[in-house]
Chains A and B, each alone.
Chain A
């Protein structure tokens, strides 16, 4: 579903990603972890072309992301992205937040868009909040709405960029629960997160990035039980034993 081959990206002359290659198969959940500044968020943003790459190739569902001929809005509408800071639209109600892209990007009718919004709000446990505004919700609730908003486009894959990092601790599990359900339903997911409990339960593969390089890329069970690269070891010992 997502094929990343030899991707190199610079910010000016500074290389943020160095020759990265990996893939996410249909229905697979891959967790990407690594120290801050390692390039993991950049990698995920490259997948739906929010960040351009200088070398290599990224294919989503067979479509080359970096090809100038690719219709980016069309591609992006088929890959959902959930941000660390939710980024709900504060001037629109919860329902409208989920409807707007369906209406203007996919051209769905108002009634169809609303129906879809209601179905998804129900799925993330937020159906009672349709008429509220983002500012009236807690962080965890906002993030669940953001997930519903991405799902409303019927994406073929979902990308998560540290979806729980901006949340108070007591709200993390409500978001992870929604993501776990999504994984169980067979959604293809690429998740940047430090939530190792979630990773162990849900991910089929683990990728560890450090200084722009993919250092580890292997099945979750092996990643957590077998010997690891020293850099991955050092990182994990920091986040698992604090």
Chain B
């Protein structure tokens, strides 16, 4: 038996079972990102609330989900919650775990973005008669967004790979499917190389997309930074 089989590597590169896993990794990332962003925005806004209790809840959430490993969170959601009668399917548990965890990190990114917008901007909008909600939506968020994009892109890159953690609750994403094939075929190196290839491909494609987004927003950001100088 040789150390490395090129034909094995290329076979598994186009294996439908593996390609299905790649697709799962992609939609798992996309869906948990969308939910993570929505929840993260809510948490970030909670942390800026005038009500002490609401603010504390936001702080508690971030503390809890950033302070424990995703692996533990997933296991709790999938295997421990049924003990108290709460049952989720594998897909539900994976999505919930990823989204809840991601939200804690995204909340901090969004909060930093909001804080980067000078207070004078809100004051000026308030002086024009805008309500706090309108100020957030039309004045603060669009400016915060430009600050948020680079760390957000970084976060997406991380999330693409973090989805592999859901393999422990038998979510059939790329890593899990790779391991399943390994147990049948024993081509450990070739199959892990295939998995690594696809993770690299996904992060590289995202890297390209992120650069495009940053470039498109870059121009108006340059303009914004000019006015900050004054």
- Mark A residues whose CB is within 8 Å of B: 48, 50, 73-78, 80-81, 83, 85-91, 100-101, 104-106, 133-136, 139, 142, 149-150, 153, 166
List the 7 closest pairs (A to B, CB-CB), nearest first. A77-B129, A135-B226, A87-B124, A101-B128, A135-B223, A90-B224, A81-B127
| In the complex, chain B residues whose CB is within 8 Å of the CB of A149 | 128
Which of B32-40, B130-138, B149-157, B200-208 forms part of the interface with chain A?
B130-138
A104 & B130 in contact (Cβ 8 Å cutoff) = yes
> Closest chain A residue to B139 by CB distance?
A89
| In the complex, chain B residues whose CB is within 8 Å of the CB of A75 | 129
| In the complex, chain A residues whose CB is within 8 Å of the CB of B220 | 90-91, 133
Sample of 27 A–B contacts (CB below 8 Å): A48-B127, A50-B123, A73-B126, A73-B131, A78-B129, A81-B124, A83-B120, A83-B123, A83-B124, A85-B120, A87-B120, A88-B124, A89-B125, A89-B143, A91-B146, A91-B224, A100-B128, A104-B138, A105-B128, A106-B129, A133-B220, A133-B223, A135-B223, A135-B224, A135-B225, A136-B223, A153-B129
| In the complex, chain B residues whose CB is within 8 Å of the CB of A89 | 121, 124-125, 139, 143
| In the complex, chain B residues whose CB is within 8 Å of the CB of A166 | 230
A76 & B223 in contact (Cβ 8 Å cutoff) = no
| In the complex, chain B residues whose CB is within 8 Å of the CB of A135 | 222-227
A87 & B129 in contact (Cβ 8 Å cutoff) = no
- Interface residue B218 (Cβ < 8 Å from any Cβ of A): no
Min distance, Cβ A165 to any Cβ of chain B, angstroms: 12
Complex CA–CA separation, A153 to B225 (angstroms): 28
- Mark B residues whose CB is within 8 Å of A: 120-121, 123-131, 134, 138-139, 142-143, 146, 220, 222-228, 230
B123 & A87 in contact (Cβ 8 Å cutoff) = yes
What 7 new A-B contacts, CB under 8 Å, besides A83-B120, A90-B228?
A73-B129, A73-B130, A74-B129, A89-B143, A101-B125, A136-B223, A149-B128
| In the complex, chain B residues whose CB is within 8 Å of the CB of A142 | 227
Interface centre among A83, A90, A101, A135 (most CB of B within 10 A): A90
A105 & B134 in contact (Cβ 8 Å cutoff) = yes
Contact of A90 with B123 at beta-carbon distance under 8 Å, contacts A100-B138, A105-B130 already known: no
Min distance, Cβ A140 to any Cβ of chain B, angstroms: 12
| In the complex, chain A residues whose CB is within 8 Å of the CB of B224 | 90-91, 135
Complex CA–CA separation, A133 to B143 (angstroms): 14
| In the complex, chain A residues whose CB is within 8 Å of the CB of B143 | 89-91
B130 & A134 in contact (Cβ 8 Å cutoff) = no
Complex CA–CA separation, A106 to B128 (angstroms): 10
> Closest chain B residue to A166 by CB distance?
B230
| In the complex, chain A residues whose CB is within 8 Å of the CB of B225 | 135
Interface centre among A75, A76, A91, A134 (most CB of B within 10 A): A91
Complex CA–CA separation, A81 to B139 (angstroms): 17
A134 & B128 in contact (Cβ 8 Å cutoff) = no
Min distance, Cβ A102 to any Cβ of chain B, angstroms: 9
